[in-house]
Amino acid sequence: MSKLWDKYRFLLARRLVQLSVLVLYFGANAWGWKILQGNLSSSLLFQKIPLADPYALLQIFATGAIAAADVIIGAVIVAIFYALVGGRAFCSYVCPINMVTDLANYLRRKWNLDKFEKKWWASRNIRYWVLGLSFILSFLLGTAAFEMVSPISMMHRGIVFGMGFGWAAIVAIFLFDLFVLKNGWCGHICPLGGFYSIIGRYNLFRVHHNQPNCTLCMKCKEVCPEKEVLYMIGKKSQMVDMGECTLCGRCVEVCDDDALYFSIRDFAKKGDSHES
Amino acid sequence: MDKNRRAFLVSMAQNVAIAATGAIVWSAFVDEAKASQLLLRPPGARKEDEFIKLCIKCGLCVEACPYDTLMLAKPGDYKPLGTPYYIPRDIPCYMCEDIPCVPPCPTGALDIESVTREEGGKKVFDITMMRMGVAIVDIKDCIAYWGIQCDACYRACPLLDKAIYMELRRNERTGKHAKLLPVVDPDYCTGCGLCEHACVTEIAAIKVFPRDVALGKVGEHYVKGWQKKDEERLKGSKGIGTTVTPRSKKSAVESLNEGIDFE
């Protein structure tokens, strides 16, 4: 039992948070609960505290529109939270697409697809291009451009307000991640992930690597959705310093040698973390 | 050195080309998605282009509506994705006096000011100020225009005798009956759609359309001589314009004599 807890505690926590958020939003729409109303784009916590997607708000600004104070306050609250706690914790703990892509990844490992598939190479920087483009397109088209096509919003709104043809977008992402490109959506394309990578660049919570314990089994790299952030594995003791880390904690769980652990940002070693 | 520069330029060009291709596909999709015009927005909604800039698609207005009137556009609805709208024939707007849907809007896409007026120094909500759309009567399919008595829309209207009034007209066919005809006054009609909802015909003979789609505009140089100070509208206008239509391109005499053989 304790082994189960050791190996899956963050995964369980993530699924619990993801599902609770969905249930709370769903309950607000279906049964009039007043805990968390709205959706991931903008919501109201306890009927008082506004919360809003800062990326969506920036797109609105890019169209040239001036939004009301509520949404700005909400976006600032969310931005500060993820800047402190860890930008891409949103991706692994809140975003509903995460469950879809994690399933694709799980099946990939189960079916050994990595070994047999025809390899495509795609830069993980595409998301920053998409991020930049979304602002240019928002300006040119006069509407929040990514919000018009975002499968994250489609899935989330779909669960809370009714799906329509939204399931097609979810299936597309699932198949893309499963058969076309490993971690294709979350790791390469999604501009929201890119946005939170930037916001969370200097967050407090970090995965740390203790090199002497490492046996180079590479289980962490196998399971990591952003394995480029684990470049220091087996090489040196250091914290994971890249914003792309989603803080999902799978690497910490799968490590049998206690070489990885969560802790507060290591300010002292910040200097040498950029070497090598 | 030269080779490096070439490689750099080529890879830059590649990136830009990929980005441009993606951007074109993406923008075509978005442009298509927001093109739908025949859409009725919630109370207090700003003009469609402003609205679509501001709406963050959170659905707080949808949740606030006690009658489930509002919906968020889903993929497959062929409407701007995630934005709120309503179909009055299914569920009309019941014009709640406390307008629960407007204040929750976090971005101001639904403008509280547009449904607020001052009364004795205090600001009060006034749902009759909203202009979501305007009802249009299809006089060929409205059975009241056939001479059958029906006042379903008139009775359903929350602004009865203002937004819809009944006009009395002699029934020329029988010569001894009257027709009671529903007529919409766009000055009062809010576009709530209770009339469309109540209409007894198979497809409603009175329908709500967005005001931009349904209403015309006379232009500045038509002045109501019977209204006091109406000429003052001309003040500040840049000279009296002339409306050009295909018909007015030729002179009146030319136009009248066209096609006539005088021999």
pLDDT, tens only, B201-216: 999 999 999 988 888 8
Query: How is residue A58 written in tokens?
Result: 């920036």
Interface check for B241 against chain A (CB to CB < 8 A): the answer is no
DSSP 8-class letter at B65: -
Question: What is the C-alpha end-to-end distance of chain B, expressed in Å?
Answer: 87
Residue-level pLDDT at B241: 64
* pLDDT at residue B33 greater than cutoff 90: no
Other beta carbons within 10 angstroms of residue A181's beta carbon come to 17
Please compute, for residue A63, the number of CA atoms within 13 A of its CA located in the half-sphere on the CB side: 24
* pLDDT at residue B4 greater than cutoff 90: no
Measure the CA dihedral B84/B36/B97/B63, to 10°. -10
Identify the closest residue of chain B to A43 by CA–CA distance: B58
d(CA B184, CA B191): 11
* pLDDT at residue B235 greater than cutoff 50: yes
Residue-level pLDDT at B198: 92
Residue-level pLDDT at B1: 57
Name the residue type at position B206: I
Q: What is the mean pLDDT of residues A189-208?
A: 88
d(CA A263, CA A269): 13
Say whether B24 sits in a helix, a strand or coil. Answer: helix
* pLDDT at residue A274 greater than cutoff 60: no
Q: Which long-range contacts (CB under 8 A, 24 or more apart) does B4-8 make?
A: none
What ipTM goes with this model? 0.81
Question: Which value, in Å, is the radius of gyration of the alpha carbons in chain B?
Answer: 26
Q: Which long-range contacts (CB under 8 A, 24 or more apart) does A12-17 make?
A: A13/A93, A13/A249, A14/A92, A14/A93, A14/A98, A14/A248, A14/A249, A15/A99, A17/A93, A17/A94
Q: Name, in order, each residue with C-beta under 8 angstroms of A107's C-beta and a sequence gap of 6 or more.
A: A113, A178
Residue-level pLDDT at B167: 92
Interface check for A50 against chain B (CB to CB < 8 A): the answer is yes
d(CA B195, CA B151): 10
Measure the CA dihedral A126/A83/A227/A41, to 10°. -50
Q: What is the mean pLDDT of residues B226-238?
A: 77
* pLDDT at residue A276 greater than cutoff 50: no
| Residue in B52, B63, B74 to test binding to A, most A beta-carbons within 10 Å | B63
* pLDDT at residue A275 greater than cutoff 50: no
**pLDDT tens column, A136-192:** 888 888 888 888 888 888 888 888 888 888 788 888 888 888 888 888 889 888 999
A148 vs B27: CB contact, 8 Å cut-off? no
d(CA B4, CA B224): 75
Q: What is the mean pLDDT of residues A116-122?
A: 76
Residue-level pLDDT at B237: 67
Q: Name, in order, each residue with C-beta under 8 angstroms of A10's C-beta and a sequence gap of 6 or more.
A: A248, A249, A250, A252, A253
d(CA A129, CA A135): 10
- pTM here? 0.80
Other beta carbons within 10 angstroms of residue A241's beta carbon come to 19
Q: Name, in order, each residue with C-beta under 8 angstroms of B147's C-beta and a sequence gap of 6 or more.
A: B171, B173, B174, B177, B179
* pLDDT at residue A44 greater than cutoff 50: yes
Chain A environment of B23 (Cβ under 8 Å): 133, 136-137
* pLDDT at residue A39 greater than cutoff 50: yes
Q: What is the mean pLDDT of residues A245-252?
A: 88
* pLDDT at residue B234 greater than cutoff 50: yes
Give residues 53 to 92 of A whose Cβ lies within 8 Å of B: 53, 56-57, 60, 63-68, 70-71, 74
Please compute, for residue B143, the number of CA atoms within 13 A of its CA located in the half-sphere on the CB side: 12
| Nearest alpha-carbon partner for A193 in A42, A87, A54 | A87
d(CA A51, CA A65): 19
3-state secondary structure chain A: CHHHHHHHHHHHHHHHHHHHHHHHHHHHHHHCCCCEEEECCEEEECCCEEEECHHHHHHHHHCCCCCCHHHHHHHHHHHHHHHHHCCCHHHHHCCCHHHHHHHHHHHHHHCCHHHHCCCCCCCCCHHHHHHHHHHHHHHHHCCCHHHHHCHHHHHHHHHHHCCCCHHHHHHHHHHHHHHHCCCHHHHHHCHHHHHHHHHHHHCCEEEEECHHHCCCCCHHHHHCCCHHHHCCCCCCCEECCCCCCCCCCHHHHHCCCCCEEEEECCCHHHCHHHCC
Query: How is residue A94 written in tokens?
Result: 């809140």
Average model confidence (pLDDT) for chain B?
86
Interface check for A172 against chain B (CB to CB < 8 A): the answer is no
Residue B21, H or E segment: helix B2-33
**Cβ proximity of B195 and B157 under 8 Å:** yes
Residue-level pLDDT at B240: 61
Residue-level pLDDT at A269: 55
* pLDDT tier, B239 (very low <50, low <70, confident <90, very high otherwise): low
Residue-level pLDDT at A195: 92
Q: What is the mean pLDDT of residues B77-95?
A: 89
Whose structure tokens read 């969560």? A262
B107 vs A60: CB contact, 8 Å cut-off? yes
How many whole angstroms from its chain centre is CA A175?
19
Give residues 10 to 29 of A whose Cβ lies within 8 Å of B: 28-29
Chain B environment of A75 (Cβ under 8 Å): none
* Residue A81 CB burial class (10 angstroms; 0-12, 13-18, ≥19): middle
Residue-level pLDDT at B202: 93
| Nearest alpha-carbon partner for A191 in A245, A246, A131, A129 | A131
Q: What is the mean pLDDT of residues A17-25?
A: 89
Give residues 109 to 148 of B whose Cβ lies within 8 Å of A: none
Interface check for A157 against chain B (CB to CB < 8 A): the answer is yes
Nearest to B53 among A32, A60, A162 (CB): A60
* pLDDT tier, B43 (very low <50, low <70, confident <90, very high otherwise): very high
* pLDDT tier, A273 (very low <50, low <70, confident <90, very high otherwise): very low
B51: closest CA of chain A, how far (Å): 9
Whose structure tokens read 């609250």? A77
CB–CB contacts below 8 A, A to B: 144
Interface check for B63 against chain A (CB to CB < 8 A): the answer is yes
Identify the closest residue of chain B to A136 by CA–CA distance: B23
Give residues 93 to 132 of A whose Cβ lies within 8 Å of B: 129-130
DSSP 8-class letter at B57: -
Residue-level pLDDT at A228: 85
Other beta carbons within 10 angstroms of residue B219's beta carbon come to 10
Using alpha carbons only, give the angle A180, A207, A210 rounded to the nearest 5 degrees.
110
Q: Average the pLDDT over each of A27-31, A89-93, B54-58, B139-143 and give the range with the smallest value.
A: A27-31
* pLDDT tier, B94 (very low <50, low <70, confident <90, very high otherwise): very high
Interface check for B54 against chain A (CB to CB < 8 A): the answer is yes
* pLDDT tier, B84 (very low <50, low <70, confident <90, very high otherwise): very high
More confident residue, B25 or B186: B186
